[in-house]
Amino acid sequence: QSVLTQPPSVSGAPGQRVTISCTGSSSNIGANYDVHWYQQLPGTAPKLLIYANNNRPSGVPDRFSGSKSGTSASLAITGLQAEDEADYYCQSYDSSLSGYVFGTGTKVTVL
């Protein structure tokens, strides 16, 4: 019962740009809580990709960028590479639930 909605899948050819949306509500993203993005490669633990809406941890390529507006957020991957094939999740805080919430997850496929 994820509170944040993401498209189940997106795909693109190597070198292309893809975006993943994350739609929330007035009790989470719309309440100005920060949004974070995680990448999960098959069989591994999630990895923090973007924090506080649009910041990249050290070591994350600048091909990854985040944005937030209103009750939604987005993750963009430019110059898509084969190693970007993974599941991606957005995450925020929800004041109604008094806890963290995740997106439904998006599988990125590199054609």
Partner 1 sequence: EVQVVESGGGLVQPGRSLRLSCTGSGFTFGDHTMSWFRQAPGKGLEWVGFLRSKAYGGTTAYAASVKGRFTISRDDSESIAYLQMNSLKTEDTAVYYCSRDRVVAISNSGMDVWGQGTTVTVSS
Per CB under 8 A, residues contacting partner 1 are 2, 33-34, 36, 38, 40, 45-48, 51-52, 57, 87, 89, 91-93, 97-105
Distance in Å, CB of 35 to partner 1, minimum: 9
Distance in Å, CB of 41 to partner 1, minimum: 12
- 3-state DSSP call for residue 30? helix
**Cβ proximity to partner 1, 32 vs 82, nearer residue:** 32
Distance in Å, CB of 87 to partner 1, minimum: 8
Query: Rounded distance, CA 79 to CA 60, Å?
Result: 14
**Cβ proximity to partner 1, 37 vs 72, nearer residue:** 37
Distance in Å, CB of 84 to partner 1, minimum: 18
Query: Rounded distance, CA 17 to CA 10, Å?
Result: 11
> In 3D, which of 38, 31, 32 has the Cα closest to residue 6?
38
**Cβ proximity to partner 1, 14 vs 57, nearer residue:** 57
17 backbone dihedrals φ, ψ, rounded to 5° = -110, 135
What is the chain's alpha carbon radius of gyration, rounded to the nearest angstrom? 13
